[in-house]
Amino acid sequence: MRILTGGFSHESNSLNPIITGEDDFVVLRGGELAEQAVFSRHSSAGIIATLKKAGAEVIPTVLARAVPNGVVSAPFYQKIKAELLDRAREALERGPVDGVCLALHGSMKVEGGLCAEGDLCGALRKILPGIPFTAALDMHATITPELLRAVDAFAGYKTAPHTDSYETGELAAGMLLQALDTGKKLYTAAQHVPMMIAGEKSETAAEPMRSLIAACKALEKPAPGRMLAASLLLGFPWADCEYNAVTVLVSAFWEDKDRADQEARNLAEELWRRRGEFRFRTEYYRSKEALAAAYAAVMEKGERPVFVSDSGDNPTGGAAGDATEFLEEILATMDQADRLPGPLLYSGFYDAPAAAACAGAGEGAEIDITLGGNWDTLNGRKIPLRVRVKKIVPDFGPYHSALALVSYRNILISITSKHIGFGDGDLLPALGVNAADHCLVVVKLGYLEPCFRSIAARAIMATSRGCTNELLETIPYRKVKRPIYPLDPGMDWRPRQRSG
């Protein structure tokens, strides 16, 4: 069996003015992809390991991944697409290809508004018609008609924060192998539910996601006539797109298609019935009140570390990472920040010029920089600060970002030269910082990643301004199809009888 694999994965925030380009992506080609040393927990690694374990010949094409950010550069998208298609054609010249399994996100957008996955998979399908084609998707995938036409079966992440990317790849590859082993055709039932869900309302440890995901898993339990994969794809609310919706996908063998249709309807109905239960699970306030609550928790109750998420500017949700509303709130209350029992840690800012200035000055230097406001000029402005450079890391992580740690009075701030986000548990340790040692930690994140959740004495979410504004009702959408919940809270909806 010869199975073609690869992927192109990005979550594109259309509210963010940054164009995500070649420098932002890590691209693995051919043998590099097959070895999978760089992204060993990604769905692509799960796909390749599963195929190899089954004795299949893996045909690695290309895998391109970047941290969520603004929409993808059109020339770069076309370049990677062409390369993937060329490698597929070359593989065909060497012999028959039996199946395809790709690692995708599902909410990648290209400059001009193109929904990337449908375009990419549609083009690949033309080269490889009539063979089984499966894909692993992020939970925040936006499902378009083009994608449904091109791909036979899908597996989506079942955890938020996402910790099961690898396992999702295993499931996607497993479905493909089962189809090839049995010679049975694959089928996917789809129900689009007109809802948008703010990222921080969908943690899978909490209701209603906990029981909705349990219902998906129950359908996948080994049993005669079982469904191969049941997925809730929540869409991505920070892209203004006509296809924004939550989609239920149930993939099965063709012979079980009626049951798949019925199960997709049931899940969609249950999701809609429980729409009002999608709520923030942590206490949340606007920035000013969030900061006041955090000071009170540290100073009056002795809670530490207290975490505050600067959630409106969460780069792992594709925000710019340089909005300054929350920083300005801190600077406006510096007398309180200075009285904290230890430095307030702020992680951090994506600011390439500031990172370069710090690296140029060197550790120990005191310099004038501006922080923020390079990209998100709607929600940020350049804040002048005289800082002490505490630490420089010239090359961090798979995206090769420089890091800087600076101090300003009683604040410590991390700065990245690349748009890599602040959810990576290795970032602060690389700067010699242990978040647990700090009384108050502000992170540009939404829900806390496990590395922070496990040490937080208290988690507060600031619904700050930025490109990942959690208050969807306040975003001026132009393309999103109406009515949609919760923008149109009084609307009614029922699932369609037929899927698609």
Residues making contact with Zn ion (CB under 5 A): 138, 140
Nearest distance in Å: CB 149, Zn ion:
23
Nearest distance in Å: CB 11, Zn ion:
6
By the 8 A CB rule, do 484 and 196 touch?
yes
CB closer to Zn ion, 138 vs 261 = 138
List helix spans (H) across 144-286: 145-150, 165-182, 209-220, 257-273
- Structure tokens, 144: 């378009």
CB closer to Zn ion, 66 vs 293 = 66
CB closer to Zn ion, 140 vs 391 = 140
Nearest distance in Å: CB 138, Zn ion:
4
Nearest distance in Å: CB 139, Zn ion:
5
CB closer to Zn ion, 134 vs 468 = 468
Nearest distance in Å: CB 140, Zn ion:
4
CB closer to Zn ion, 244 vs 374 = 244
Tell me how far apart the alpha carbons of residues 95 and 72 are, in angstroms, rounded to a whole number: 33
Nearest distance in Å: CB 199, Zn ion:
8
Tell me how far apart the alpha carbons of residues 110 and 433 are, in angstroms, rounded to a whole number: 37
Nearest distance in Å: CB 12, Zn ion:
12
Tell me how far apart the alpha carbons of residues 482 and 194 are, in angstroms, rounded to a whole number: 8
- 131 contact partners, CB below 8 Å, separation of at least 6: 97, 98, 99, 100
Q: What are phi and psi of 308, to 5 degrees?
A: -120, 125
By the 8 A CB rule, do 310 and 464 touch?
yes
CB closer to Zn ion, 81 vs 140 = 140
- The DSSP symbol for 22 reads G
CB closer to Zn ion, 157 vs 346 = 157
Instruction: List the 366-371 sheet strands across, edge first.
Output: 283-285, 458-462, 306-310, 440-443, 344-350, 411-416, 401-408, 383-396, 366-371
Nearest distance in Å: CB 459, Zn ion:
19
Tell me how far apart the alpha carbons of residues 116 and 249 are, in angstroms, rounded to a whole number: 19
Report CA torsion sign: 247, 252, 254, 259.
negative
For residue 44, give Cα distances in angstroms to 12, 63, 65, 164, 263: 19, 8, 11, 12, 28
Q: What are phi and psi of 270, to 5 degrees?
A: -65, -40
Nearest distance in Å: CB 100, Zn ion:
23
> In the complex, which residue's CB is closest to Zn ion?
140
CB closer to Zn ion, 210 vs 301 = 210
Nearest distance in Å: CB 95, Zn ion:
36
Look at residues 266, 209, 262 and name the one whose alpha carbon lies nearest to residue 233: 209
SS3 labels along 252-314 = EEHHHHHHHHHHHHHHHHHHHHCHHHCCCCCEEECHHHHHHHHHHHHHCCCCCCEEEEEHHHC
Nearest distance in Å: CB 16, Zn ion:
16
CB closer to Zn ion, 87 vs 140 = 140
Report CA torsion sign: 27, 150, 158, 274.
positive
Nearest distance in Å: CB 449, Zn ion:
12
Tell me how far apart the alpha carbons of residues 69 and 109 are, in angstroms, rounded to a whole number: 10
Q: What is the rounded end-to-end Cα distance, in angstroms, of the chain?
A: 30
CB closer to Zn ion, 141 vs 440 = 141
Report CA torsion sign: 120, 122, 126, 132.
positive
CB closer to Zn ion, 47 vs 415 = 47
Tell me how far apart the alpha carbons of residues 443 and 308 are, in angstroms, rounded to a whole number: 6
- The DSSP symbol for 73 reads P
For residue 372, give Cα distances in angstroms to 39, 134, 375, 379: 30, 41, 8, 10
Tell me how far apart the alpha carbons of residues 482 and 476 are, in angstroms, rounded to a whole number: 13
CB closer to Zn ion, 5 vs 468 = 468
CB closer to Zn ion, 324 vs 468 = 468
Nearest distance in Å: CB 99, Zn ion:
26
